[in-house]
């Protein structure tokens, strides 16, 4: 599902117009419309604001395959693309919390995978 489709669903779940959502995100309605129609992508700062306004986790905006495409792409690492105009503050509590949450999820996956391998070896 595209980011635009997700934004539209989130907005409709709140019973907001595009103008309502744009106002809450501190952008113009035409700019918001471009996001919903996938004609433009929000920058990394606006992704945080979207998550806050719609009361969701930022990763809920991402595709299921963890690919994140943000405007002004230049730096790629694994499947995440960061905007060149953004400075990422690695001391940010939100970034640290997100990294820790991802680490916890990876640990759980590895643990489950190990249990599966153990069970397969016992058979």
pLDDT tens per residue, range 54-104: 998 888 887 654 444 444 443 333 334 444 444 555 566 777 788 888 888
- What pLDDT sits at residue 90? 57
- pLDDT-wise least confident of 11-15, 29-33, 69-73, 110-114: 69-73
Mean pLDDT on 37-66: 82
pTM of the complete model beyond 0.75: no
Burial environment of residue 36 by CB neighbours within 10 A (0 to 12, 13 to 18, 19 or more): buried
- Of all residues in the chain, the percent with pLDDT exceeding 70 is 75
Strand partners, 80: 68, 77
**If you count DSSP H runs as helices and E runs as strands, how many of each does the chain have, helices first?**
5, 2
Mean pLDDT on 8-15: 94
> Do 32 and 18 form a contact (C-beta atoms < 8 A)?
yes
Give the three-state DSSP class for 15.
coil
């Amino acid at each position: 599902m595209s980011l635009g489709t997700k934004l539209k669903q989130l907005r409709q779940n709140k019973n907001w117009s595009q103008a309502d959502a744009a106002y809450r995100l501190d952008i113009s309605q035409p700019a918001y419309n471009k996001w919903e129609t996938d004609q433009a992508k929000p920058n990394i700062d606006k992704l945080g604001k979207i998550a806050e306004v719609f009361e969701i986790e930022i990763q809920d905006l991402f595709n299921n395959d963890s690919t994140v495409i943000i405007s002004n792409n230049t730096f790629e690492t694994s499947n995440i693309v960061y905007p060149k105009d953004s400075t990422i503050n690695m001391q940010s509590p939100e970034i640290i919390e997100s990294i820790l949450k991802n680490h916890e999820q990876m640990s759980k996956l590895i643990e489950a995978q190990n249990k599966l391998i153990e069970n397969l070896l016992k058979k």
